[in-house]
Amino acid sequence: MRTPILLAAALFTATLLAQDPLRIWGLTPAGGANDRGTVFSVNTDGSDFTTVFDFSDASGWGPEGGLCLAPNGLLYGLTTFGGEGAPAAGTLFTIDPANGNFTKLRDFSISNGGYNWSSLIVGTDGMLYGAGYAGSDGGGSIYRVDPTNNEYTELYALDQATDGGAITGVLIQATDGKLYGGASQGGVTGEAGTLFSYDPITDEFTKLHDFDGAAGGRTPYGGLCQAGNGWLYGTTYEGGLNNRGTVFKYDPVTEVFETIHDIADDNGLNCWATMLRLAPDLLIGGVASGGLNSGGFLYTVVPSTDEVAVVTNFSLATGASPIGALTSAPDGALYGLNAYGGTAFFGTLYNLDPLTYQPTILHHFTSEADGGQPRG
């Protein structure tokens, strides 16, 4: 029997057989046998933690994102560095959850979509879509992977000066079928970044918004989340009234952009994590530092009112710095990763109650056999 899969820091879960235990699969960018990061799996109660694969220079290393469960039953992932490209700018790989077999599919370089900081997604057409920090035109790239034959195709290469560049966040496919994302640099203001869309049917790229680098925010590191009202919600790492980042929304129909929250010194800084939609009128996201215990926190957004509220404060004991997105599971719980803190200070895996937002620590990473500093 195959075991149902939950991907830590990814967008997809599979419920194959209800009587089987649910397994979490994820990545760490550091630690492991080669200090190059690991692939791990673990039961949802934290038991039977297994290091499935240790990354190396040849396999690619330092994966910053998560795993994607493709229609063919394989897990697809990206490393940020290493491999055999020139220069070594990461790799594309698969893991077979049935046996843990690792297969490297592609070596990236600067000119073909390398330095991937995020994850792949499954499109409505069954194809996998991703966005790289680098690309053939210098500003990053949007690409497709066909899981039937693993063919890689660069769909659009961004020009950093006009389109924006250096994509670090995961793409989202909205209800209109288009892919949406943010470029963390470039655009008409120089280094503030942009929002963009790509239509996989018409092969059309459209720049939607240039961040102003000031009150409107700058450096959108994370991806976007679509609420039930159709608006796309995201964050910037810097800028805003306090230069500590912002929470914003964008309407793809009316093309209206609005900043709805300015992060301040007393309530955190360094927004990186992509928000997760819990309900049509409820989103949840993370801030990497600050908050009550200076360990970062989770916050909710109510789209109907644009209310932003802190719901969970992390500490060094629970794990700190929620850089990656939460994942919702078939068991009704939420799961997430903290990059630092815990008993060995190399991060934690936690379960989050979706009603009380209270975390339960499932695993303390040690950086030795199990890896550490999970950021996906």
Q: Give tens-digit pLDDT for 348-376.
A: 999 999 999 999 999 999 999 999 999 98
Lowest mean pLDDT of 1-5, 14-18, 212-216, 332-336, name the range: 14-18
Over residues 162-178, mean pLDDT = 96
Residue 320 and residue 344 in contact, taking contact as beta carbons nearer than 8 Å: no
Residue type, 107: D
| 6 band by pLDDT with thresholds 50, 70 and 90 | low
Lowest mean pLDDT of 35-44, 119-128, 176-185, 328-337, name the range: 328-337
- Please give the Cα distance from 205 to 101 (Å, whole number): 36
DSSP string for residues in 207-237 = EEEE--SSTT-B---S--EE-TTS-EEEEES
Q: What is the pLDDT of residue 5?
A: 56
Q: What is the pLDDT of residue 218?
A: 95
Give the chain's mean pLDDT. 92
Q: What is the pLDDT of residue 1?
A: 38
Kindly list the strands in the beta sheet with 23-28, ordered across the sheet, starting from the edge strand earlier in the chain: 13-14, 5-7, 23-28, 38-43, 50-54
Q: What is the pLDDT of residue 21?
A: 76
Mapped onto helix, strand or coil, the DSSP state of residue 248 is strand
| 16 band by pLDDT with thresholds 50, 70 and 90 | very low
Burial class (CB in 10 A: 0-12, 13-18, 19+), 321: buried
Residue 17 has pLDDT above 80, yes or no: no
Q: What is the pLDDT of residue 268?
A: 65
Residue 89 forms beta bridges with which residues? 82
Extract the tokens encoding 136.
Answer: 């053939």
Residue 140 and residue 183 in contact, taking contact as beta carbons nearer than 8 Å: yes
Q: What is the pLDDT of residue 266?
A: 64
Residue 3 has pLDDT above 70, yes or no: no
Percent of the chain with pLDDT over 90: 83
Residue 85 and residue 34 in contact, taking contact as beta carbons nearer than 8 Å: no
Work out the number of other CB atoms within 10 angstroms of the CB of residue 294: 14
Residue 340 forms beta bridges with which residues? 320
Q: What is the pLDDT of residue 15?
A: 29
Nearest to 251 by CA among 306, 204, 187: 306
C-alpha of 155 from chain center: 20
| 12 band by pLDDT with thresholds 50, 70 and 90 | very low
Residue 10 has pLDDT above 60, yes or no: no
